[in-house]
Amino acid sequence: PPWENTIEGIIKGFQRVAAGKIGLCVSNIEKRQNTGLSYEDAWNMTSVQLASASEAHCRAILLYTYYTETEKIVNTVSPALRQVLLQLVDLYVVYWALQRLGDLLRFTSISEKDIDELQRWYEDLLTKLRPNAVGLVDAFDIRDEILRSALGAYDGRVYERLMEAALRSPLNAEPVNSSFHKYLKPFMQGKL
């Protein structure tokens, strides 16, 4: 089937990858059995491919469900939010297509030109989402007490919080640690 450089086309591509990988596993198990291996040994010899097929199946489910479930909700939200939610779906699907190019090249009719377009599409999506990057994580609405991070606090006082955290180290409770008198000083003076 011809490759379609659309979200639906990519999802279908992932389903082809999963189906193709499962089919190959079945065929390889059978081939190995035909050489005299037991089913269990044939399974074991094919298990790297089987795990990969299983992951491909899961990716196909993840992409399909994310896409279809988002389609159900986008008509209930404002146009501005709708646009961002759809950009995120696009980003996720295109990202995984680029991550799994080898599989797509093997099991679908994707071409080099299609891949170039996918890469540009991905970079374009990053640029489009960039202005909303902080808004998107603010929407996870995780309070500082829950986030518990010097780097991620809502007010962005990163360096002040890092220093506050450093000062809480028990080693900073005294100016000179006892190990200096016990070990370092005698060692430095050649007495240890």
Partner 1 sequence: VNPDLQRERDKCTFNVTELINLIDGGVQKTEERKKQEDMVLSEGIHIEDVPSEYLSHKEKYELAVKKACLLFKVIRKMQEEDNAGMENYRAVLGGKLGSAILQDGSPLTLHYVMFIPTLMGQASVEQQVHWIGRAFDLNIIGTYAQTELGHGTFIRGLETTATYDPSTKEFVLHSPTLTAYKWWPGGLAHTANYCIVMAQLYTKGQCHGIHPFIVQLRDEETHMPLKGIKIGEIGVKLGMNGTNNGFLGFDHVRIPREHMLMKNSKVLEDGTYVNSPSSKLAYGTMMFVRVVLVTDMCNYMAKAVTIAMRYSAVRRQSQPKPNEPEPQILDYLTQQHKLLIGVASVHAFRLNADWLWNMYNNVTAELDAGDLERLPELHALSCCLKAVSTADAAECVERCRLACGGHGYMLASNLPSTYGLTTAACTYEGENTVLLLQTARYLVKAWQQAAGGNALTPTVSYIATVNSGRRL
The conformation of residue 173, written as its DSSP 8-state character, comes to G
Distance (Å, whole) CA 26 – CA 14: 18
Distance (Å, whole) CA 114 – CA 119: 9
Q: What is the DSSP string of 99-155?
A: HTHHHHHHHS---HHHHHHHHHHHHHHHHHHGGGHHHHHHTT---HHHH--TTT-TT
Distance (Å, whole) CA 93 – CA 107: 17
- Find the shortest distance in angstroms from Cβ 64 to partner 1: 8
Tokens of 157: 């006082």
- Find the shortest distance in angstroms from Cβ 61 to partner 1: 6
Between 133 and 184, whose beta carbon lies closer to partner 1? Answer: 133
Between 167 and 189, whose beta carbon lies closer to partner 1? Answer: 167
- Find the shortest distance in angstroms from Cβ 32 to partner 1: 13
Between 6 and 109, whose beta carbon lies closer to partner 1? Answer: 109
Contacts of 57 (CB under 8 A, 6+ apart): 18, 22
Between 83 and 177, whose beta carbon lies closer to partner 1? Answer: 83
Tokens of 182: 């016990």
Between 34 and 189, whose beta carbon lies closer to partner 1? Answer: 34
Q: What is the largest distance, in Å, between two alpha-carbon atoms of the chain?
A: 81
- Find the shortest distance in angstroms from Cβ 110 to partner 1: 9
- Find the shortest distance in angstroms from Cβ 44 to partner 1: 10
